[in-house]
Amino acid sequence: MCSVKTALSARGRAPGGQNAIWPVGTDGEGVQQERKRCMILIDYRDARPIYEQVVQRFKMLILRGVLHSDEKIPSVRNLAVDLSINPNTIQRAYAELERQGYIYTVKGKGNFVSDSGLLLQKYREEVFSQLKTICKAAFEAGITRAEIIESIREGETDD
């Protein structure tokens, strides 16, 4: 379980209107690992609801292997306090993550990451399905294979 604090700029938010949390500590690399594991960003200027941002961030952390299978994630209450948002928002995000199969709940124990290997495989299949649909639409619109490949290369460098 990570110990976290909210990083806020002088105006009450991190740069870019974001609210970020990370663990507090002093032991170098171990703390860096914890920071990567626990980093959650909330962008108040984003048009998406906060719960969707939380869902997306946890999905990314799970799919990139930062959070591992059967690893406990912060409780609803702890994460809500750390992010300074309503616990109902976190509960809604966790319910959505559970509905999508990214986490599971053990009564009285907390929320845990589901099998990340299976999740990654499922996610990749979804992405390839979407990619096929997009490529088909692109060919129908007269976009050439070379233009599609160039667009993919450009996407690799976008952050």
Pairing of strands 18-23, 40-43: antiparallel
- 3-class SS letters over 110-140: EEEECCHHHHHHHHHHHHHHHHHHHHHHHHH
What percent of the chain lies above the pLDDT cut of 70? 75
Task: Note the pLDDT of residue 159.
Answer: 53
Q: Where are the domains of the chain?
A: 4-114, 118-157
3-state secondary structure of 47: coil
- pLDDT class of 134 with cuts at 50, 70, 90: very high
3-state secondary structure of 35: helix
Q: What is the CATH number of domain 4-114?
A: 1.10.10.10
Strand partners of residue 85: none
Kindly report the average pLDDT of the chain as a whole number: 79
Looking at residue 3, its amino acid is: S
CB 97, CB 55: distance < 8 Å: yes
- pLDDT class of 91 with cuts at 50, 70, 90: very high
Task: Note the pLDDT of residue 40.
Answer: 83
List pLDDT tens digits, range 28-66: 444 444 444 457 888 889 999 999 999 999 999 998 889
Please measure the distance between the N-terminal and C-terminal CA atoms of the chain and give it in whole angstroms.
29
Long-range contacts of 5-9 (CB under 8 A, 24+ apart): 5/82, 6/82, 6/83, 6/84
